Structure 1
Amino acid sequence: MKDALQQFGFSALVVDDEPGMRTILNKALSKKLTQVETASSLEEAEALRKRNHFDLLIVDINLPGRSGIDWHEAFNDESRRSDIIFMTGFAELETAIKALRAGASDFILKPFNLEQMLQSVQRCLDKRMMERRNVALQRDVARSFPVDIIGTAPKTEAMREMIARLAPSPAAVLIEGESGTGKELVARALHSLSARSGPFVPLNCGAIAPELLESELFGHVSGAFTGARKSKDGLFRVADKGTLFLDEIGEMPLSMQASLLRTLEQQTIRPVGAEREVNVDVRIVAATNRSLQEEVEAGRFRKDLFYRLNVLSVELPPLRERIEDIGLLLNHFSEVLSRDMGLKPVVWSDAEIFAMQQYDWPGNIRELKNTVERAVLLGKPDLGHWLGEQPSQAISHSLESQPDSLTDGGYPLGWALKDVERAHIEKVVAANEGNKSAAARQLGVARKTLERKFKDWLYE
């Protein structure tokens, strides 16, 4: 079983003039770290450090020429900051103080037990790992919403079962569906139900300038390009042993598609400006609101990358195909958003839910959530403000679609008089194409009376 340290792509540079010590540490650390280099002098070590970024420097203090404590180029270089473990065969207080001032994370006396060194390495890299996780958390825009897929519609149940089947696999997953159908939520569910120990890291490919996307994904070393004053871990390293969610993958430039394909095939990355590749273990979940097959045929997306991403696929249904979930989603968003804002939850009547189920929701769940957010902040407006039609039309259309339940007079015998009145008014309004003034004249009542009745029905 691989050591936990090796799971996160860490690297170390050992600097010691004793060949035996270099060999021992190289052999021991290579079992645990992704990359280990050795050097016999500060000059050789500095040349290696300029070409590669190292998470950890293990340096002997007593080196020929310059003391290890005098390696100021490395210890003062904020753009390539590394943790430092000093080794020495001389236990002098002054030396220890100088080592701490140089930024030492630990100070180990020779001869030492190998386990002592490995424990020191573990402590240093645990700190590094927490730094990477913090980067991932800063990118995590999940807010307080749970990963659970809300709904009981048949297509929602089928989607939930598909996620459960695909989650344990390490293979790439392609999520397709209209904008606003919850692709990132599904990606999070795939990660949450998997056994992967690393973080979930999202990236919207369409929100990053093409010239910056390579650095964002693969990282860069200091000086790799204008403005690169510090080395930076790319999102592949941040997401190591976890899941990298590439939203709007269809927006990725063709040149970057080739680099991504190579990474998926070889499981290695090369930071911009670096000479060496780094091993990574990342599961890719990609999403698009386009048909990637059509993009391939149009020459805008690589066919080989499409096949690599489309190993497993999930097709998300639009909200109009799972209208049974609208009531649950309304109540869920109302509860969560009102709690986040410290406001009173909005209560939705059956009539409002019913009317909303007649709407197509072109913006899908995102549009529904935005509607609830406005209602929590501003109060519920007339349904026509949301749906582009009067609620009476939506309800009337539904009544007209059930003629078998009506008597010859047009209304069920079990209806109360107020229900008949409401249905008749709604039909007259619908017949006048939503024009309430014309409907009021036809009914022989004032428009204000009609408006009052609709308002009462909306909140009863």
Structure 2
Amino acid sequence: MNNNKSPSYIADAAVLVIEPDLNAWKKLDPILRLYFGFVKHTKTAEQAKVSFRRFHFNLIIIDSTLLKEFWQALTDNKQQLDTLHTVHSNTRDDITELCFPLSFILTSRSNEPELIIEAMRMGACDFIAKPLFHEDVERAITHWQFRLSHKKITNITNNCNKQHSLFIGESEIIKNIRKNLYEISLNHHPLLIEGEAGTGKKLAIKQLELFSASQSQMINIDCRAPSLIDWHKLANCCTQTKLQTFLVITHINLLSITEQTQLLHLLNSTVLKNNSLVRLISLSQSSLLNLVKNKTFLSDLYYRIAVVNISLPPLSQHPEDIVTLVKFFTNNLLMAMDKNYGQILSRFQTWQASDFLSLTEHNWPNNTQELKNTVEKCLIQNITPQHYFMQTQRNELERTHNEHDFPIEWSLKKIEKAHILRVMNIYQGNRILTAEHLGVARKTIDRKLKEWKQD
């Protein structure tokens, strides 16, 4: 494919190279670091499998001699892959999507057509003949980047692909969010985005900006400081521009009835009502419809701002995305590191399956932002997630040690139940840490909970 556009450096892109020949790797490494923020090299299929589970890679470059072995290593450990890579096999019919990212590049000393065709069927987007030359590698990367940025969109599913989405994960919930945001981007109706803190409301706005074909600007209004809002000045800002404007009102659920009335008058004025360049986006951490039912939010304003509505669920409702997010945040931290890059990477590679299970079993009351903070804290402070949770909750236990005395008339069975639930509450529902703290098996906690549920 002829393409005059040279490849560009992508700070948030990661590439995994599976190459047994050290000399070939030495040729690839300096070239790839010109275009990727994170470059990982492995010599065997087993090493590659471990790296693939632990990181989110945008591209894989693999030697043909290891292709089937790597494929087999992943599919033979399909159950473990589902746990650690958070991919549900029942949502993916094509095994190539289970094992690889959208595409991979094959390297080989053989130019046999059968080999290349088979690799293409397995998902390969390009082929580089060995010995490796700079111009061949650059051509392949250029081809990959060109396909990524100029791929023609034939349907919604293609357009809301994870490569183009700011929402990381492969759960049905995340897939629906991608699809819904793309559909929403096709119109300019007033939009209400609801969700708890940390669920990605501002990320959704950035996604809409990315989908926008025209140059745009954003005007933010924070309702936590309503006294600072000048509604008339705001109207002038929206009308004195020829750019597509996102008028974003955050924490709209905190407005008083008087302030809601002022906003409603502004939105119904001729200045904004028929202005096709202005799109109103309102953000709320609570259900506005419930506030309407409780008569603390004007129904007229609600139906004015919620022509289109999207709700972002808490992380606890799609825990299968947690490990993918952990790898994503780790990648971002590594890319921000200079001197400590190798140290941070080594720390992450010491994490065991129990650490990932601790992360997936945590309730995450502050959602994705709390997960990001925890991952970075563990890597920077050199503490594994399991020990981090144990340390944090041990401090909480010490703080509340004298706050719980059981009535003397309680039976031993009732005290046992209260104590187990108290410990589980402190560990925010994490059954592994609860069992470890109490010195019992995880199955014991599961059995007790099942009994209490039946009772």
What is the TM-score when the length of structure 1 is the normalising length? 0.45
Q: TM-score, normalised by structure 2?
A: 0.45
Q: Which has the larger radius of gyration?
A: 1
